[in-house]
């Protein structure tokens, strides 16, 4: 072993009493017949750990920091530790720590600031003592600052104690210095790989390279872009993408090592200890450029100097303060760039055997530094073990992982010693979110280093495999401990505000546990997990949504089925719950979790929309009663009993209803609205009789008198003279000259004939596409604007009076209504030929797009036998389509066909739209399927839409507002019919005002047969989907 630097009592192991500076590497005599494992350096003392676990110390002993009575340069064994097998040592300014192979921690030396963790502030402790407060923990790693200490336990718990003058304990502002270990809760859940302490600052490093710093920051040693102290751990974001694997701290500077062998330094640079060829401080991490091109595997910091080892050359580079010889360069001056340490150094594979002078060369194994001293463990033999690589730390030193090896060890222990201590040790790890979070990292191409709000960095397949193995009968004891840990500790203690995204992996891991699918554990595991997820603050909740968006559909499907099963289980056992509040809490958690998943699915389409259906609801719940309770709640009724106020209404979660349930709701709502309208008319008639004005009596029905030969004109006249209240009454249609009594058949005939007339392409309102048999808005129109008004009212009346009409529009219509941009797939549905042509243009692999397609930015359209050329952009006839602009050409075509025609109706038809559909500001803005486009147009934005005034046909005060949404579908054959049916439902909701509440926000979302890639949208109130054929059958 070689050493250099400054020793006030002389160089260790040298018999001479020479004191002071050693400016170049010298052999440490102490090691001549011993095998040193580790060296720790304090302010003026050194601690040597041997391979056999013995501990030796030398140097000053003014505070008992040597652990024995002798002071001097000759290392002496600490007798008090002779019975312990020590595996790790650390030094502060005047105190020392030793960690045993049993995870016990011993301390001695100066203790006036509580740095010994012995719950006292004795000035000095000369004999090592066990830190009792950590006796129940298995400590894996320790680090010392000048007057404070850090310790990492096997279960991921992180402890600090000692002086807290600058917040270096990470406990917050309100905590003074601590004489006993305190848990740092602000890092809970993060799987930590390393803890490191500087003079009065501290760092923690996660397994995925996240760096957290706190404490003194007077020179920017925390790397947080400023010089303000921090009392709690702060994420060093500038290092997040650098794959940091090791940290070393000086008194006021910090160095980090990346997986690629790069070195970044920051903090005080007054002595050149940052290696940036300057004496300036750095508040941001900055790479040491002089070391670029060399793969560094070890770094070490002293008080004001830094070392870096490059194994390819065998050289050690030093920079920083050298006035006490601590650089080993042979001189005593500061160095601001990395300079080789003086001596004969060789790489491990340097082929020394052929050299005659091979014995004077040294092969480095490991470097140690602290204070003003440096030690290097060396070998003179090529066949010795290679140098330690700090980038691949031993798993035994960081947060325990749960894997096959761990399971095997636990199983053996439980079989041999099934006692309380063994069980507690197992439970401690199983109850740790940090251990689970670090156990299944995606190590392929270092994917876990990319962990972010969008990337979880976890391998769910390995999670699944481990849990499946645990279900084997041979692991029954461990499985029992996992259940106990999850139920009593892990899930209840999950934080609502995780400190970092790495602490959130547990929310992806737990659903893979097979027993969560078992109904026996719904109440104790599945529902509590849902509650923990729903407790998450806004930002963590969004992170989880992002991760759910990235996971495979199979996992997502399992999650949906898990909580569908839990909800169904609760509904079936509803009467068994003695305390209704518990049932309400449980079912609400399950449904809200499903709602959260549903909203994620709308964006990424992991599963089909009907995956969320719970068909058994119709038989388990009184839909009519549930709807009425929901209606009262939405109406803000204050006089209802408290039991109604607290009850959960399933109608708040529309996505779980199938066609049968929605049919019941439709019937309930229609009956309710009709009854209200009829009762209102009857009450008014009674009042008229009492006031002797019988001629003002009102009919309890909406009666329309029309002629077959003037159906459109008569319908316009009849509907225009009725108020919105009249339109909610049951409909009766009378054809002049016919004596048929309308029992429903005449009404249906009226709707079919009227809509057939209104939608006839000869009027120019719509264009009929022969290839798809679909309708779309035409560029020109030859009818009065009130025709669009009539189409909307007709559709609303049809659905309100249980009549289904068939209107052929593509799904693009509903996307436009909901501010969702249509895509090329929508054009393919409307006009397959044009869609395929644009797809071929986009997919063409060659460079000669211009010569092959011969296109420009124009589009040709035939209108009543006349072909017109329309420019897609200003001067489009002079712009040729090429490889670079073909995507823009396709977008322009889409905009022309699907958007501009649609939006052109908005300004001209606004008055008629608002007369019919503005019942709740943003709930239903347009009966645009027939009159205009509204949402998502280029002519009007969300801000303008929100400012629209209340509609003349608005709902009565007791009726909640309605809204429209879109849906997606999977069956191209049924898309048009189902989509149109959905619009009819929404039109009815918008027109009827109070009928709209349960259509709102989801009215078209649930059952439009959907193509892959289609976009859906959701909302809160229950939906009535476009599945009209099924609803007819249900009726």
DSSP alpha helix (H) spans, 343-494: 404-416, 420-430, 433-437, 460-470, 476-485
Look up residue 891 and give its DSSP letter: H
- Report the distance separating Cα 485 and Cα 953, nearest Å: 58
Residue matched to tokens 């052109």: 904
pLDDT at 42 (0 to 100)? 94
- Report the distance separating Cα 251 and Cα 200, nearest Å: 7
The residue-averaged pLDDT of 652-678 equals 83
Q: Which of 131, 197, 187, 138 is nearest to 158 (CA)?
A: 187
Residue 1020 above 70 pLDDT? no
Higher-confidence residue of 628 and 781: namely 628
> Would you report the helix, strand and coil content of the chain in percent, each value rounded to 5?
40, 20, 40
Q: Taking the CB of residue 970, how many other CB atoms lie within 10 A of it?
A: 16
The residue-averaged pLDDT of 428-440 equals 96
- pLDDT above 70 coverage of the chain, percent: 79
Higher-confidence residue of 1030 and 601: namely 601
Please, what is the average pLDDT of the chain?
81
Across the strands, what pairs with 768?
775
**Residue 445 pLDDT level (bands cut at 50, 70, 90):** confident
Q: Which of 857, 542, 211, 221 is nearest to 203 (CA)?
A: 211
> What is the number of helices (H) and of strands (E) in the chain?
26, 34
Q: Which of 281, 153, 278, 286 is nearest to 217 (CA)?
A: 281
Q: Which of 143, 243, 285 is nearest to 202 (CA)?
A: 143
The residue-averaged pLDDT of 624-643 equals 71
Rg (CA), the chain: 38
Q: Are 485 and 428 in contact (CB under 8 A)?
A: no
DSSP alpha helix (H) spans, 417-475: 420-430, 433-437, 460-470
pLDDT digits (tens, 9 = 90+) for 865-896: 677 777 777 877 778 888 877 776 566 666 66
Question: For residue 10, is it left (φ>0), alpha (ψ between -120 and 50) or beta?
Answer: left
pLDDT digits (tens, 9 = 90+) for 24-47: 999 887 766 678 999 999 999 999
**Residue 11 pLDDT level (bands cut at 50, 70, 90):** low
Look up residue 609 and give its DSSP letter: G
Q: Are 207 and 399 in contact (CB under 8 A)?
A: yes
pLDDT digits (tens, 9 = 90+) for 12-27: 766 554 568 999 999 8
- C-alpha distances out from residue 946 to 81, 407, 1004, Å: 75, 58, 21
- C-alpha distances out from residue 201 to 149, 233, 239, 680, 1022, Å: 10, 10, 17, 76, 55
**Residue 745 pLDDT level (bands cut at 50, 70, 90):** confident
Q: Which of 93, 182, 90, 156 is nearest to 128 (CA)?
A: 90
pLDDT at 143 (0 to 100)? 98
| Three-state SS at 535 | helix
pLDDT at 818 (0 to 100)? 61
Residue 907 above 80 pLDDT? no
pLDDT digits (tens, 9 = 90+) for 789-839: 777 777 778 877 777 766 777 877 767 666 667 777 888 888 888 888 888
Residue 946 phi/psi, 5° resolution?
-70, -15
pLDDT at 999 (0 to 100)? 28
């Amino acid at each position: 072993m070689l050493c250099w630097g400054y020793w006030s009592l002389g160089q260790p192991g040298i018999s001479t009493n020479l004191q002071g500076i050693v400016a170049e590497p010298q052999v440490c005599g102490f090691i001549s017949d011993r095998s040193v494992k580790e060296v720790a350096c304090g302010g003026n003392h050194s601690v040597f750990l041997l391979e056999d676990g013995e501990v030796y110390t030398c140097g000053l002993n003014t505070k008992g920091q040597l652990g024995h009575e002798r002071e001097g340069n000759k290392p002496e064994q600490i007798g008090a530790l002779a019975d312990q097998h020590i595996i790790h040592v650390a030094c502060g300014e005047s105190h020392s720590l030793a960690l045993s192979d049993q995870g016990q921690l011993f301390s001695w030396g100066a203790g006036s600031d509580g740095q010994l963790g012995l719950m006292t502030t004795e000035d000095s402790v000369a004999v090592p003592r066990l830190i009792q407060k950590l006796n129940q923990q298995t400590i894996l790693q320790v680090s010392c600052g000048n007057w404070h200490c850090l310790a990492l336990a096997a279960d991921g718990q992180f402890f600090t104690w000692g002086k807290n003058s600058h917040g270096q304990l990470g406990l917050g502002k309100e905590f003074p210095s601590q004489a006993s270990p305190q848990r740092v809760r602000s890092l809970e859940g993060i799987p930590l790989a390393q803890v490191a302490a500087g003079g009065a600052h501290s760092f923690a490093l996660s397994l995925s390279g996240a760096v957290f710093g706190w404490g003194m920051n007077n020179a920017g040693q925390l790397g947080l872009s400023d010089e303000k102290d921090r009392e709690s751990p702060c994420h060093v974001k500038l290092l997040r993408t650098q794959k940091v694997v090791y940290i070393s701290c000086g008194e006021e500077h910090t160095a980090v090592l990346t997986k690629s062998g790069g070195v970044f330094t920051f903090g005080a640079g007054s002595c050149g200890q940052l290696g940036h060829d300057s004496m300036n401080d750095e508040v941001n991490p900055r790479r040491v450029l002089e070391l670029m091109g060399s793969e560094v595997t070890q770094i070490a910091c002293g008080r004001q100097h830094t070392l870096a080892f490059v194994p390819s050359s065998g050289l050690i580079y030093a920079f920083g303060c050298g006035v006490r010889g601590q650089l080993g360069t042979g001189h005593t001056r500061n160095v601001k760039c990395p300079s080789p340490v003086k001596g004969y150094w060789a790489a491990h594979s340097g082929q020394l055997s052929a050299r005659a002078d091979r014995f004077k060369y040294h092969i480095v194994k490991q470097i140690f530094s602290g204070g003003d001293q440096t030690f290097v463990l060396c070998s003179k033999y090529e066949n010795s073990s290679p140098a330690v690589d700090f980038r691949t730390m031993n798993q035994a030193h960081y947060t325990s992982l749960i894997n096959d090896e761990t399971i095997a060890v636990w199983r053996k222990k439980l079989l041999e010693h099934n006692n309380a201590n063994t069980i507690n040790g197992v439970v401690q790890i199983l109850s740790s979110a940090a251990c689970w979070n670090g156990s299944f990292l995606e190590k392929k191409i270092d994917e876990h280093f990319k962990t972010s709000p969008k990337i979880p960095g976890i391998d769910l397949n390995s999670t699944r495999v481990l849990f499946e193995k645990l279900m084997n009968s041979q692991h029954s004891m461990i499985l029992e401990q996992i259940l106990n840990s999850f139920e009593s500790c892990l899930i209840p203690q999950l934080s609502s505000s995780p400190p970092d995204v790495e602490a959130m992996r547990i929310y992806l891991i737990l659903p893979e546990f097979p027993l969560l699918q078992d109904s026996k554990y719904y109440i104790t595991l599945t529902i509590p997990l849902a509650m923990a997820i729903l407790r998450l603050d806004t930002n963590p909740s969004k992170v989880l949504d992002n991760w759910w968006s990235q996971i495979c559909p199979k996992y997502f499907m399992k999650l949906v089925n898990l909580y569908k099963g839990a909800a169904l289980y609760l509904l079936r056992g509803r009467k068994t719950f003695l305390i209704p509040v518990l049932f309400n809490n449980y079912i609400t958690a399950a449904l809200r979790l499903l709602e959260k998943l549903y909203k994620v699915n709308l964006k990424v389409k992991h599963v089909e929309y009907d995956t969320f259906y719970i068909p058994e609801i119709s038989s388990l719940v009184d839909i009519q009663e549930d709807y009425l309770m929901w209606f009262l709640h939405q109406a803000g009724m204050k006089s209802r009993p408290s039991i109604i106020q607290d009850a959960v209404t399933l109608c708040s979660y529309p996505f779980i209803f199938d066609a049968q349930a929605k049919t019941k709701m439709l019937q309930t709502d229609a009956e309710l609205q009709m009854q209200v309208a009829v009762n209102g008319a009857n009450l008014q008639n009674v009042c008229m009789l009492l006031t002797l004005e019988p001629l003002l009596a009102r009919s309890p029905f909406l009666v329309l008198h029309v002629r077959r030969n003037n159906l459109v004109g008569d319908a316009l006249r009849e509907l225009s003279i009725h108020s919105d209240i009249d339109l909610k009454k049951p409909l009766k249609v009378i054809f002049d000259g016919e004596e048929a009594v309308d029992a429903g058949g005449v009404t249906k005939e009226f709707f079919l004939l009227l809509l057939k007339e209104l939608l006839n392409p000869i009027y120019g309102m719509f264009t009929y596409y022969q290839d798809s048999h679909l309708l779309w808005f035409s560029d020109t129109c030859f009818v009065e604007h009130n025709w669009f008004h009539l189409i909307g009212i007709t559709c609303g009346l049809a659905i309100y009076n249980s009549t289904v009409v068939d209107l052929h529009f593509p799904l693009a219509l509903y996307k436009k209504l909901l501010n969702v941009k249509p895509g090329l797939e929508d054009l393919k549905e409307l006009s397959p030929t044009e869609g395929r042509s644009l797809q071929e243009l986009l997919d063409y692999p060659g460079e000669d797009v211009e010569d092959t397609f011969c296109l420009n930015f124009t589009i040709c359209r035939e209108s009543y036998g006349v072909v017109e050329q329309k420019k897609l952009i200003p001067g489009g006839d002079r712009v040729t389509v090429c490889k670079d602009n073909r995507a823009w050409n396709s977008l322009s075509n889409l905009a022309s066909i699907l958007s501009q025609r649609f939006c052109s109706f908005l300004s001209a038809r606004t008055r008629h739209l608002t007369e019919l559909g503005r019942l709740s500001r943003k709930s239903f803005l347009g009966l645009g399927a027939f009159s205009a486009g509204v949402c998502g147009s280029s002519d009007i934005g969300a801000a303008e839409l929100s400012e629209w005034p209340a509609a003349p046909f608005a709902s009565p005060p007791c009726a909640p507002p309605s809204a429209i949404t879109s849906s997606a579908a999977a069956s191209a054959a049924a898309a048009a019919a189902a989509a149109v049916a959905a619009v009819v439902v929404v039109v009815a909701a918008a027109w009827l005002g109070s009928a709209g509440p349960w259509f709102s926000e989801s009215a078209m979302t649930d059952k439009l047969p959907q193509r892959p890639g289609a976009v859906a949208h959701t909302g809160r109130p229950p939906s009535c989907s476009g599945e009209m054929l099924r609803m007819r059958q249900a009726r």
